[in-house]
Amino acid sequence: MLDPKFVREHESEVRQTLSNCGSTVDLSLYLDLERRRRDLTTSVEKRKSRKNKASEEISKLKREGQDVSAWLPKLQELSEEIKGMENEIAAVESDFRKLELTLCNLPHPSVPIGRDESANQIIRHWGTPPTLSFQPKTHTELGDRLSILSLERASKMSGSRFAVLTGLGAQLERALMNFMIDTHLANNYIEVTVPHLVTAESMEASGQFPKFIDQAFAIEKDQLFLIPTAEVPLTNLHRNEVLSKNLLPRKYVAYSPCYRREAGSYGQETKGLIRLHQFDKVELYQLVEPEKSFEALESLTQDAERILQALELPYRVTLLCTGDKSFASSKTYDLEVWLPSQNSYREISSCSNCTDFQARRANIRYRQEAASKPNYVHTLNGSGLAIGRTWLAILENFQQKDGSIVIPRALRPYCHGLEILKAPTL
């Protein structure tokens, strides 16, 4: 969430910025509730001070043997005023909290202004899309021919938008997970195994709730939610903690399944492994000092790029505009991998600097020195990478005319030396 003081002191700027992001939140109501909360709090504190002084005076008079009965009605009146105002503060605070949780993070000045992806900026390309002498097959066609992917069997078990990988297909997925994690561990990340079920408070702290509550899978009986990304538990790893400066930067990597309803997706978005209800991902997460967070974003993005480069997959980096960046992000780069069957680039990772937005919601702070006032950390996250989309990108980019798949050199040690994935012999 945003710093109320900053919003109050930069109202015009914040209004314009929220408009650039497509936000429809009533900022006037936000400011009015925030002012009422401050005014009520000040009034209560003044009355509490008067009550404390009156109580001290009454105690003094009692010790002197004087009659204090005339003071008691005034003391009772102050107590009732305080109680009534505290109830009013609680109501205002509740309304303010609900509203402030709907305010998105403010974009960094370097983020292009625009309503949708048409305003995104392509920053750079890496690699050259393969030149194929034949009509490229889709990953679903290749997976079916190789007997390593079945959407029909998954549908029989769970309905649409699920997948079953078998044999070498399952091994390739596991190889990718291990390769990605090992690569990030070599770059000083700390591996974390996280819960796949979290509370509503954890979803709220990471910025998922209330905005994306309709996209979550809920276990209503236990009031728990399946995580849409490991970013959620990683945000809550240090919730309500004050960290020492010497622990920063803190770099975490976590593998997890991810669960999303993906309501509203259609067309190419729902074909094959592109957008499933359940998919696997390796997540990168960092907690850093505020003045270093945008430098850290460049570094984190390069950490994700390193995986694509090692796998020799062509990709491009895109800077998302104000209307396309994520709710919690101040600045986001998307990595988009080339898919021959679509003759286009598709997202495979989003790398974001959330500044202090998540840290304020989760109350994660740090101290410069032992006796100094704690400040909020900045948090960053990125996919390093989405495993399913990496899996399908390998199939499509390394497909051969006979339908076999050349395994990228960097991945072969994780595939027991396998160089070519071929269809089974009948």
Our answer to whether residue 275 is catalytic in this structure is yes
* Catalytic-labelled residue, pool 37, 161, 260, 365: 260
* Catalytic-labelled residue, pool 350, 352, 360, 396: 350
* Catalytic-labelled residue, pool 35, 275, 306, 412: 275
Our answer to whether residue 23 is catalytic in this structure is no
* Catalytic-labelled residue, pool 37, 161, 250, 389: 389
* Catalytic-labelled residue, pool 347, 367, 404, 412: 347
Closest CA relative to residue 119, chosen from 129, 111, 131:
111
Our answer to whether residue 389 is catalytic in this structure is yes
Residues known to be catalytic: 260, 275, 347, 350, 389
